[in-house]
Chains A and B, each alone.
Chain A
Amino acid sequence: MVINAAELLRSTGLLSIEHVLLVAQVECSSTLVRTTNSLFLSEDKGSAYTVDVRLPPGQYASQISASLHLVLGHDVPTVPDPTIASRTGARLASSEVSKLELGAKGSLFPTEALDFSGSLPSGVPWLMNLTYEDLDDAFLGAARLFVNTAHPAGRVALDNEHANAPLIRSALRVDIVRSLILQVASQERSVFDASREFDPESIGHVIASFCKHEFKADLASVARMITSDPIEFETRMQAAFGYLQQLDGE
């Protein structure tokens, strides 16, 4: 990281950069672990700093988040102004958070292919399951698309080479979005806050993104639409996803 010492002092009001600690932080929301390492800035070290963080084995899973922070490394009792940070740990600046997927499934829709002839409803080609506690829960952990390998349409949806795959998948996409919004609307009932912002890659974030792009509306409005005007909802969704537009041979 490159630190502009003069700018740092000007913007924080501190008298020396040697009070300041550069902290590298790596954390994991799945295992609830955080690892940090830090070093004090110094007039003698120039402007470029490197902080290594060694992660303990077996402690991190799914996704890690990394960020850098400038904080006060010790109490500064003689600051000239009470608005200037003076206590150990006071945050002066934080970087954007960088996320890294551990494993290869990060960009794929969470899908599970299996024969439904057990206890899942056997007559359906697919089923969208959403199990969550809060809309800020990670989408990849909460959502699961089950595709029925015993159903002809389920098999086609899984077969990239099949001529009817685009047609079937257009129906699948409509079903996924409808099902997600219905489940959220049902679970959240009237507690929606239209202005709420969701954590990146959370259930709320993913579904709100669908709503924003396909309906040009927020999640709360679309959730209301699905119950108050289901025809409008269905029509707009089918148009947005090219429902059944790609017939074999056309």
Chain B
Amino acid sequence: MLYVYPRLSRGHSLSRLAEIREVSQLDPERLADLIQFQHPNSAPVATGTLVSTDRLTTIREEVSLEMEDWKNRIVGTSSASYDSRLGTILHSSLKIVPADAASEDVWNFLSLMLFPDFLYQRFPNLSDERCLGTPRNTLRRVWLRREILGDLLTAGSPILGEDELVGLFERTAFVRNRRLVRVVAEVVLNYKGNGARSEFARRLYKRVRMSTGPFLWDVVGIDQIRSNVERAAHHVSQQMH
């Protein structure tokens, strides 16, 4: 079963965010005290099964438990690992209707009411773009990565890094072909050539994106997509020698 969530408008969210910032400056430990499962001005758009307060409580517990290892740790250079784990548990726990997950106001509610401490842990400056539910929101972007990449988000050694993921999601028209974007991610994860993998990825994304103009990859079978991407990868590898 998938759920729809309460929505909190940007105006009320800015007020709430100011409160979170104030507490974070006084004592970040107290951010957990701000967790709430309701807001007097929030309401869902009733286009599906409404999430209950009990379910919200469970979600908070599930995410906290999964992220227990990170408690009191500084994310710093381990952001890819933190984000992939957070995205994975959010995705499995929220079970949100994808159309509902496209709402800024839904992520306003989830971020500012349920997970204020996670916002602070990941982005301690608590900027608007990371805390409000716009596309770069702390929770929204990692949920979306999991939604699109699935298990690939936690696959590979190393897993896909921040630069590799940002590059992959940079052009939304490209990401909308999910078969293509997954094949490209797989090819990056399997890269064993010379030079930094992130540089290989950057060049590969550019080459594949350029081909989406003359070709409509959506009608191409998965085997041929893989073959075309591998050919592009081979070309990029040659350039990097």
Contacts and interface: CB of A to CB of B under 8 A. Distances in A.
Interface of A: 21, 23, 25, 27-34, 36, 38, 58-62, 69, 71, 73, 87-91, 112, 114, 118-120, 129, 131-133, 137, 141-142, 144, 146
19 contacts: A25-B218, A28-B102, A31-B99, A34-B177, A58-B99, A59-B98, A62-B102, A69-B216, A90-B214, A112-B10, A114-B41, A119-B14, A120-B11, A120-B14, A129-B14, A131-B129, A131-B134, A133-B135, A144-B10
B11 A133 contact: no
Contacts of A31: 98-99, 101-102
Contacts of B217: 89
A19 B18 CA distance: 60
Contacts of A60: 99
Nearest to A85: B214
Interface residues of B, number: 44
In this complex, the member of B41, B48, B219 whose beta carbon has the largest number of chain A beta carbons within 10 angstroms is B219
A32 B182 CA distance: 14
Contacts of B48: 58
A60 B132 CA distance: 21
Interface in B11-59: 11-12, 14-15, 17-19, 41, 48
A119 to B, nearest CB: 3
A62 B45 CA distance: 13
A132 B128 CA distance: 10
Interface residues of B, dominant DSSP? helix
A93 to B, nearest CB: 11
Contacts of B144: 32
B219 A21 contact: yes
A1 to B, nearest CB: 16
Contacts of A120: 11, 14-15
Q: Which 7 A-B pairs have the closest CB atoms?
A: A119-B18, A30-B102, A118-B15, A61-B99, A61-B102, A34-B176, A89-B215
B219 A29 contact: no
Contacts of A91: 213-216
A112 B215 contact: no
A71 B99 contact: no
Contacts of B224: 88
B134 to A, nearest CB: 5
A133 B214 CA distance: 28
B220 interface: yes
Contact of B219 (A32, A58, A71, A114): A71
B154 interface: no
B237 interface: no
A87 B129 contact: no
A158 B12 CA distance: 18
Contacts of B218: 23, 25, 34, 36, 89
B10 A129 contact: yes
B240 interface: no
Given A32-B172, A33-B176, A119-B18, A144 B11 contact: yes
A38 B98 CA distance: 25
A133 B140 CA distance: 15
Nearest to B136: A133
B114 to A, nearest CB: 20
Given A32-B148, A89-B215, 4 more contacts: A28-B176, A30-B102, A59-B99, A114-B9
B98 A33 contact: yes
A71 B217 CA distance: 10
Contacts of A30: 99, 102
B67 interface: no
Given A23-B218, A58-B48, A114 B12 contact: yes
Contacts of A132: 134
Contacts of A28: 102, 176
Contact of A61 (B41, B103, B129): B103
A73 B216 CA distance: 10
A104 to B, nearest CB: 12
B97 interface: yes
Contacts of A119: 14-15, 17-19
